[in-house]
Amino acid sequence: MSYTVKKGWIEQARISPSANFGPRPQGCDIDLLVIHNISLPPGQYEGNCIEQFFTNCLDWKEHEYFSQIEGVQVSAHLLIRRTGELIQFVSLEDRAWHAGESCIGERRECNDFSIGIELEGTDDEAYTEDQYRVLRGATEALLREYPKMTANGIVGHSDIAPGRKTDPGPSFDWPRYRSSLTEAGGSA
Protein backbone atom coordinates (compact mmCIF):
# COMPACT_ATOMS: atom_id res chain seq x y z
CA MET A 1 0.00 0.00 0.00
CA SER A 2 1.15 3.50 -0.76
CA TYR A 3 0.79 6.13 1.94
CA THR A 4 0.26 9.84 1.47
CA VAL A 5 1.39 12.58 3.87
CA LYS A 6 -0.72 15.72 3.85
CA LYS A 7 0.03 18.61 6.21
CA GLY A 8 1.81 16.34 8.68
CA TRP A 9 -0.77 13.55 8.69
CA ILE A 10 -0.72 10.19 6.92
CA GLU A 11 -4.08 10.08 5.19
CA GLN A 12 -4.43 6.30 5.52
CA ALA A 13 -3.81 6.27 9.29
CA ARG A 14 -6.49 6.31 11.95
CA ILE A 15 -6.05 9.49 13.99
CA SER A 16 -6.02 9.31 17.79
CA PRO A 17 -4.79 12.73 18.97
CA SER A 18 -2.32 12.90 21.83
CA ALA A 19 -1.69 15.99 23.95
CA ASN A 20 1.88 14.77 24.52
CA PHE A 21 3.78 16.83 21.97
CA GLY A 22 5.23 20.27 21.43
CA PRO A 23 6.65 22.42 18.66
CA ARG A 24 9.92 21.53 17.01
CA PRO A 25 12.71 24.10 17.37
CA GLN A 26 12.48 26.74 14.68
CA GLY A 27 14.43 25.82 11.55
CA CYS A 28 14.93 22.23 12.66
CA ASP A 29 14.92 19.74 9.77
CA ILE A 30 13.33 16.32 10.25
CA ASP A 31 16.06 13.87 9.27
CA LEU A 32 15.87 10.90 11.67
CA LEU A 33 13.40 8.01 11.94
CA VAL A 34 13.39 6.08 15.21
CA ILE A 35 11.89 2.58 15.41
CA HIS A 36 10.53 1.52 18.81
CA ASN A 37 8.43 -1.26 20.26
CA ILE A 38 5.76 -1.22 22.93
CA SER A 39 3.19 -3.56 24.42
CA LEU A 40 0.91 -2.85 27.36
CA PRO A 41 0.84 -4.76 29.58
CA PRO A 42 4.24 -6.08 28.47
CA GLY A 43 3.91 -8.99 26.05
CA GLN A 44 0.14 -8.57 25.68
CA TYR A 45 -1.37 -7.43 22.41
CA GLU A 46 -5.10 -7.33 22.97
CA GLY A 47 -6.96 -4.17 23.90
CA ASN A 48 -6.29 -0.47 23.57
CA CYS A 49 -3.85 0.16 26.41
CA ILE A 50 -1.13 1.61 24.17
CA GLU A 51 -3.55 4.06 22.62
CA GLN A 52 -4.92 4.96 26.05
CA PHE A 53 -1.36 5.46 27.36
CA PHE A 54 -0.40 7.81 24.51
CA THR A 55 -3.64 9.80 24.96
CA ASN A 56 -3.41 10.04 28.79
CA CYS A 57 -6.51 7.88 29.28
CA LEU A 58 -4.94 4.71 30.69
CA ASP A 59 -6.58 3.37 33.85
CA TRP A 60 -3.52 2.93 36.08
CA LYS A 61 -5.40 0.39 38.21
CA GLU A 62 -6.25 -1.89 35.27
CA HIS A 63 -3.02 -3.89 35.55
CA GLU A 64 -0.35 -4.11 38.26
CA TYR A 65 2.40 -3.18 35.76
CA PHE A 66 0.78 0.21 35.13
CA SER A 67 1.86 1.47 38.56
CA GLN A 68 5.43 1.54 37.16
CA ILE A 69 4.46 3.99 34.42
CA GLU A 70 1.74 5.92 36.23
CA GLY A 71 1.77 9.60 35.36
CA VAL A 72 4.28 9.22 32.53
CA GLN A 73 3.32 11.28 29.49
CA VAL A 74 4.72 10.00 26.21
CA SER A 75 3.65 9.68 22.62
CA ALA A 76 4.86 8.58 19.23
CA HIS A 77 3.95 9.88 15.84
CA LEU A 78 2.81 6.46 14.65
CA LEU A 79 1.89 3.06 16.04
CA ILE A 80 1.71 -0.07 13.91
CA ARG A 81 -0.41 -2.73 15.59
CA ARG A 82 0.34 -6.42 15.05
CA THR A 83 -2.62 -6.53 12.65
CA GLY A 84 -1.03 -3.81 10.51
CA GLU A 85 -3.40 -1.09 11.69
CA LEU A 86 -1.66 2.29 11.46
CA ILE A 87 -2.55 4.86 14.12
CA GLN A 88 -1.21 8.41 14.21
CA PHE A 89 -1.07 10.36 17.48
CA VAL A 90 0.95 13.48 16.64
CA SER A 91 1.43 15.49 13.46
CA LEU A 92 4.72 14.65 11.80
CA GLU A 93 5.45 18.37 11.85
CA ASP A 94 5.33 18.42 15.66
CA ARG A 95 7.73 17.07 18.27
CA ALA A 96 6.33 13.84 19.74
CA TRP A 97 7.68 12.65 23.10
CA HIS A 98 9.09 9.28 22.06
CA ALA A 99 12.89 9.30 22.35
CA GLY A 100 13.47 10.72 25.82
CA GLU A 101 17.06 11.46 26.76
CA SER A 102 18.85 10.62 23.53
CA CYS A 103 21.67 11.48 21.16
CA ILE A 104 23.04 10.49 17.80
CA GLY A 105 26.63 11.46 17.23
CA GLU A 106 27.01 14.89 18.82
CA ARG A 107 23.32 15.76 18.40
CA ARG A 108 21.17 15.57 21.52
CA GLU A 109 17.40 15.70 22.05
CA CYS A 110 16.48 13.47 19.13
CA ASN A 111 12.78 14.30 19.54
CA ASP A 112 13.60 17.70 18.03
CA PHE A 113 14.50 16.31 14.59
CA SER A 114 13.00 12.81 14.47
CA ILE A 115 9.82 10.90 13.78
CA GLY A 116 9.00 8.01 16.09
CA ILE A 117 7.26 4.83 14.97
CA GLU A 118 6.19 2.29 17.58
CA LEU A 119 5.69 -1.33 16.62
CA GLU A 120 3.35 -3.26 18.87
CA GLY A 121 5.66 -5.95 20.17
CA THR A 122 8.56 -6.90 22.38
CA ASP A 123 12.32 -7.18 21.93
CA ASP A 124 12.21 -10.97 21.70
CA GLU A 125 9.06 -11.83 19.74
CA ALA A 126 8.98 -11.73 15.94
CA TYR A 127 7.08 -8.86 14.36
CA THR A 128 4.29 -9.70 11.93
CA GLU A 129 4.26 -9.66 8.13
CA ASP A 130 1.58 -6.95 8.29
CA GLN A 131 3.81 -4.77 10.48
CA TYR A 132 6.75 -5.01 8.07
CA ARG A 133 4.46 -4.22 5.12
CA VAL A 134 2.97 -1.14 6.79
CA LEU A 135 6.34 -0.01 8.16
CA ARG A 136 7.83 -0.19 4.66
CA GLY A 137 4.97 1.85 3.18
CA ALA A 138 5.04 4.45 5.95
CA THR A 139 8.82 4.75 5.74
CA GLU A 140 8.73 5.29 1.99
CA ALA A 141 6.11 8.04 2.47
CA LEU A 142 8.31 9.72 5.08
CA LEU A 143 11.40 9.52 2.87
CA ARG A 144 9.43 11.20 0.06
CA GLU A 145 8.00 13.89 2.35
CA TYR A 146 11.18 14.75 4.25
CA PRO A 147 14.09 14.98 1.79
CA LYS A 148 16.73 15.37 4.54
CA MET A 149 15.73 11.95 5.89
CA THR A 150 17.44 9.03 4.17
CA ALA A 151 17.57 5.31 4.76
CA ASN A 152 20.86 5.94 6.59
CA GLY A 153 18.93 8.09 9.09
CA ILE A 154 16.78 5.19 10.32
CA VAL A 155 17.74 3.85 13.76
CA GLY A 156 16.39 1.88 16.66
CA HIS A 157 15.60 3.47 20.01
CA SER A 158 18.51 1.45 21.37
CA ASP A 159 20.87 3.29 18.99
CA ILE A 160 20.03 6.73 20.38
CA ALA A 161 19.59 5.73 24.03
CA PRO A 162 22.10 2.90 24.54
CA GLY A 163 22.09 1.35 27.98
CA ARG A 164 18.69 2.88 28.64
CA LYS A 165 16.61 1.36 25.83
CA THR A 166 16.79 -1.95 23.95
CA ASP A 167 13.99 -1.63 21.41
CA PRO A 168 13.12 -2.65 18.79
CA GLY A 169 15.29 -5.53 19.98
CA PRO A 170 16.93 -8.56 18.40
CA SER A 171 13.60 -9.79 17.03
CA PHE A 172 13.48 -6.85 14.59
CA ASP A 173 14.81 -7.94 11.20
CA TRP A 174 16.87 -4.91 10.13
CA PRO A 175 18.25 -6.51 6.93
CA ARG A 176 14.74 -7.46 5.79
CA TYR A 177 13.37 -4.00 6.54
CA ARG A 178 16.23 -2.10 4.92
CA SER A 179 16.23 -4.27 1.79
CA SER A 180 12.47 -3.71 1.38
CA LEU A 181 12.84 0.04 1.02
CA THR A 182 12.85 1.55 -2.45
CA GLU A 183 15.03 4.36 -3.66
CA ALA A 184 12.48 6.94 -2.40
CA GLY A 185 14.50 9.41 -0.41
CA GLY A 186 17.70 7.43 -0.52
CA SER A 187 19.02 3.95 -0.99
CA ALA A 188 18.65 1.24 1.59
Contacts of 145 (CB under 8 A, 6+ apart): 5, 92
d(CA 182, CA 89): 26
Cα angle 169-171-173, degrees, rounded to a multiple of 5: 100
How does strand 154-156 pair with strand 103-104? unpaired
Distance, CA of 35 to CA of 110 (rounded, Å): 12
Residue 17 DSSP code: -
For residues 64 and 142, give the distance between their C-alpha atoms in angstroms, rounded to a whole number.
37
Give the Cα separation of 65 and 27 in Å (integer). Answer: 40
Active-site entry in 118, 120, 140, 145 = 118
User: In terms of DSSP bridges, do strands 14-15 and 86-88 run parallel, antiparallel, or are they unpaired?
Assistant: parallel
Contact 160, 102 (CB under 8 A): yes
Active site residue 118: yes
Distance of CA 46 to the CA centre of its chain: 19
The catalytic residues are 118
